[in-house]
Chain A
Amino acid sequence: MLNYIGHRVLQLIPLLIAITIITFITIKLPPGDFLTTYIQQLKLSGNAVSQSQILSLQHLYGLDQPAYMQYLDWMKNILTKGDLGYSFGWNEPVSQVIGERLGLTMLISILTLIFVWVVSIPIGIYSATHQYSILDYIITFIGFIGLAVPGFLLALVLVYVVFVHTGVAITGLFSGHYQDAVWSMGKFLNMMSRIWLPVIIIGMSGTAGLIRVMRGMLLDELQKQYVITARAKGVKERKLLFKYPVRMAINPLISTIGWTLPAIISGEAIVSIVLNLPTTGPILLKALMTQDMYLAGSFVLILSVLTVIGTLLSDILLAWVDPRIRFGGVQE
């Protein structure tokens, strides 16, 4: 196993370099650049932008240099100074833009993850063990509805309904003066009273997938020989269920669990936009759409590193959970 981990870590470095290059190229693919968008925005609002000012801005943002120079500058800053670059859209260092929002993003993401597991796994198991019962249909219906309704629409509807009935406008995670206030018990409670809305809306879209996968895998496992044997030997149903089949059923979950780590960092983007949450998802989205080069590039880089590490963790977990798995070639 250690050998295996060692190999994987070695592969990390060329992989990450390749990722940075491809990411950088992809971000710059759409026509124009950040400045084109920025200047157009200024011109459309009636501001006159002279040729000289355009040239100055290009020089300031380093956009007058060839692309490979921009890439090398970016990489150099990251590797030597840990400086992730400067965000054109926010006029702040990238680390500040992301750092300000990271904590809340992770909080919401983890709460959502817990919500999804707490809801989906029991429903999936129930659905597999009580196939075709009325309750099975009802519960899975509830589980699926979250996926079926587009989250951003549901978010808007809920915000409006709450407003009409209570006069309270949920325009963000915090109300009024708590927005920029220092952290206190009051602020924490205020946040807790409003965080349920995004967690449920975002979580609901994830429950359907997990329920169906759990159900499907568990149904497969429950028909296998070892389950019938165990049952014949008198093992209690519940113990039987959780000792082995559920572990096997989680196989696909574990294959992709590595990818939940970057998902926790970037959070969900579209519902966050509608609900005005101060999270990193919308930031990344906007950065990609406006070609805010360093913000988008550095953020994607962080996510990629986490993904690669996550994949490694997934593989280790896979081998640990299923003792039959060996990563070598097919044995003869």
Chain B
Amino acid sequence: MNVVLNRKALPVETDQQVVYEVASQWQLMWWKFKKHKMALIAAIVLLIMYLMAGFCEFISPDVPQQRFTEYVYAPPQPIHFADKNGFSLRPFVYDMKEKIDTKTFQNHFFEDTSKKYPIYFFVKGETYKFWGLFNTDIHLFGLKDPNKPLFLMGTDQLGRDLFSRALYGGRISLSFGFIGIFLTLFFGLILGGISGYFGGVVDTIVQRMIDLLISIPTIPLWMALAAALPRDWSAVKIYFGMIIILSALGWTGLARVVRGMLLSLREEDFTVAARLAGASDWRIITKHLLPSMASYIIVSLTLAIPGTILGETALSFLGLGLQPPVVSWGVLLQDAQNLETLAFHSWLLWPAAFIVVTVLMFNFLGDGLRDAADPYK
């Protein structure tokens, strides 16, 4: 039988396929990333959160230490658009009156419909320093009279607006997430890479070093650092210092995994081929082997950032991390971590919601990035 080459049957390259084949590496990654819908959503949400944290002074109606002495433990105010006069485009809130029940020792807040406070945008409120550069008093939204109550998430024991504090807290919690991982990444990759690639004596030394380092209990280290760092440093600076120092010790997990994978990868054909082609060890490690592990590295990075955020809350719980008056999500969570709050002031749990969303989004983002950087697809 003759096999006739039917020109029509040959696959013709469509325009789309042509574009695909000539697209740059970054475009390919973007397209792959877009396929993961949750990751897209996650990226957007995280972007919004970081923007809110970045502009927290502007977006918050109040400053974190501002106290409203009449509104201690006030619940979140409902925002209304309509009252008995009809619908209004401008949202407003009612004032709140407190009633203390002397028998049950509980205080309740009731809406006082006689006093209405419309919400305006770009209002004048408490003065603050925008990014530490210049003083201003414009807030994104608020009431005309800054002393009247506008509590989107209620207030705490000292009558401070939780929404503002949650935003300010986000600035610290979200930024600290990034700091620690860089040193971890650096040491983990380098040391794990060397250990796995060269094997033999180098591997032994590095591995035993790892064995030594992971045995060190971190809690006394943390406590000792807190005591040893200069006392005139602010609490935030001290925490920053501790994270840096501890990240320099925390590379062991990543190193060990990197080493394990390298041990198998270095026997792969492409490695042998590269060596036969005369590539230097350094080039082989960085250009050929590490990208093969990109998937694991990305997963581990995007697990590490929320890990730092959660670690901060755990440290605050133990009394070792940030403490009041610093405002971070971990510190705010401490106010919520007791039975009275769960029973009577459950709105103080809002920072937990922020944390949950952030961690979730980082995880989905991580999956999306991993898919995007996947060298095998």
Contacts and interface: CB of A to CB of B under 8 A. Distances in A.
A147 B224 CA distance: 29
Interface in A1-49: 7, 11, 15, 18-19, 22-23, 26-31
Contacts of A252: 257, 260-261, 296
Given A217-B295, A270-B314, A289-B318, A29 B224 contact: yes
B274 to A, nearest CB: 12
A322 interface: yes
Contacts of A22: 212, 215-216
A308 B337 contact: no
A322 B264 contact: yes
Contacts of A216: 295-296, 298-299, 367, 370
Given A19-B212, A255-B257, A329-B200, A212 B363 contact: yes
Contact of A300 (B217, B266, B349): B217
A22 B200 CA distance: 26
Contacts of B371: 131, 219
Contacts of A132: 35-37
A128 B224 CA distance: 44
Contact of B260 (A141, A208, A300, A318): A318
A131 B293 CA distance: 20
A157 to B, nearest CB: 6
B310 to A, nearest CB: 6
Contacts of B256: 255-256
A137 B37 contact: yes
Given A212-B303, A216-B295, A329-B199, A11 B204 contact: yes
A211 to B, nearest CB: 9
**Interface on chain B toward A: helix, strand, loop, or mixed SS?**
helix
A87 interface: no
Interface stretch (B128-136, B183-191, B233-241, B353-361): B353-361
Given A144-B360, A144-B363, A327 B339 contact: no
Contacts of B51: none
Contact of B215 (A270, A288, A300): A300
Contacts of B320: 289
Interface stretch (A71-79, A91-99, A106-114, A148-156): A148-156
B82 interface: no
B299 A27 contact: no
A156 B355 contact: no
A303 B215 contact: yes
Nearest to A32: B227
Nearest to A213: B299
B224 A30 contact: yes
Given A137-B38, A153-B352, A30 B223 contact: yes
Given A26-B220, A296-B217, A217 B296 contact: yes
Given A147-B359, A285-B219, A256 B257 contact: yes
A150 B310 contact: yes
Contact of B220 (A30, A157, A213, A270): A30
A312 B364 CA distance: 34
Given A208-B303, A208-B363, A216-B295, A15 B217 contact: no
A272 interface: no
A328 interface: yes
Contacts of B201: 329
B306 interface: yes
Interface string B221-247: 101100100000000000000000000
A190 interface: no
A28 B216 CA distance: 12
Contacts of B219: 285, 288-289
Interface in A121-155: 131-132, 137, 140-141, 144-145, 147-150, 152-153
A212 B366 contact: yes
Most A CB contacts (10 A, CB to CB) among B203, B208, B256, B367 go to B367
Given A137-B38, A255-B261, A284-B217, 8 more contacts: A30-B227, A140-B363, A208-B363, A219-B376, A254-B260, A311-B211, A318-B263, A327-B203
Closest 4 CB pairs of A and B: A223-B376, A255-B260, A329-B200, A29-B224
Interface of A: 7, 11, 15, 18-19, 22-23, 26-31, 131-132, 137, 140-141, 144-145, 147-150, 152-153, 156-157, 160, 208-209, 212-213, 215-217, 219-220, 223-224, 248, 251-252, 254-256, 259, 270, 284-285, 288-289, 291, 296, 300, 303-304, 307-308, 311, 318, 322, 324-330
29 contacts: A15-B208, A19-B212, A29-B221, A29-B223, A30-B224, A131-B36, A137-B38, A140-B364, A141-B38, A147-B363, A148-B355, A148-B360, A150-B355, A254-B260, A255-B257, A256-B253, A256-B257, A288-B220, A289-B223, A289-B320, A303-B215, A311-B207, A318-B263, A325-B267, A327-B263, A328-B199, A328-B200, A330-B198, A330-B281
